[in-house]
Amino acid sequence: MKNNYYNEIKKELLNNEIYIKVKDYSKNRNELSTYYNVGKLLIEAQGGEDRAKYGDGLIKEYSLKLSKEIGKKYNITTLKRMRQFYLIIVKGATLWHQLSWSHYRELLPISNINEINYYISEIEKNNLSVRQLRERIRNKEYQRLDDKTKLKLINKEEIDIKDNIKNPIIIKNKLDIDKEIVSEKILQRLILEDIPSFLEELGTGYSFIKNEYKIKIGERYNYIDLLLFNIEYNCYVVVELKVTELKKEHIGQIQIYMNYIDKFKKNNSR
């Protein structure tokens, strides 16, 4: 019986090796299907998910033979990844054939299926490279979403513009400035050093319009720290930077700026 499983696994991998050599857009789909099938066979061979320890022994045995008969890339780590790949799909992770195996490998260590599906959705929406995906996972992007947003994602409810904002927002310190001396001006400078990264922290569809955006309220000129536009939601976004605890007057100031943009900028752009 053990040899039967091995022969099936070997057959799957050999067929995939042949497919890899063919220049065909569907070969990625074939690779994922192959690894899913191999993972399934490994779980069946070990007698179920709960017998992982016994399965580790089988994987060691199979990898030695496969490395000799097909290629060295089918080592213990690779076979364990295929087993884990099958398990996350069975538990509800999205099998999206346009994702590469390299993308899925980055997702395998994540135990939360909802988190995996969030990153798969982000890859799809933003065409994330493997490096970009790795950075988002390392920065714990999913964990920084509000619990209400996570629930909306699980229930596939409509997401508002504010739902995508991470908390806390990570601002890269490319200028290596001491955090203890950061002022609002320095904070703005750090953001401007890497605008794309900052916009990603807010969500998708953002464009940068201007910093220190000049507006006239009454007889006095005021300056909006950052003015953005979101294409998906077709709205302007006013950003005021503060390095102190948020106060009531700060909220009032932002509201005044938002009202101005709504009245003059938004209406004029229609």
pLDDT tens-digit profile, the chain (270 residues): 667 999 999 999 999 888 777 656 567 888 999 999 999 999 999 999 989 899 999 999 999 999 999 999 999 999 999 999 999 999 999 999 889 999 999 999 999 999 999 999 999 999 999 999 999 999 999 999 999 999 999 999 999 999 999 999 999 888 888 888 889 999 999 999 999 999 999 999 999 999 999 999 999 999 999 999 999 999 999 999 999 888 999 999 999 999 999 998 876 655
Question: What is d(CA 44, CA 34) in angstroms, rounded to the nearest whole number?
Answer: 15
Model-wide pTM > 0.75: yes
Please state, as a whole number, how many other Cβ atoms lie within 10 Å of the Cβ of residue 106.
19
Write down the domain spans for the chain: 2-90, 174-268
**DSSP code string of 82-110:** HHHHHHHHHTT----TTS-HHHHHHHTT-
- Which residues, including other chains, have CB under 8 Å from residue 73's CB and lie 6 or more apart? none
Tens digits of residue pLDDT in 108-131: 999 999 999 999 999 999 999 999
The DSSP output letter for 163 is G
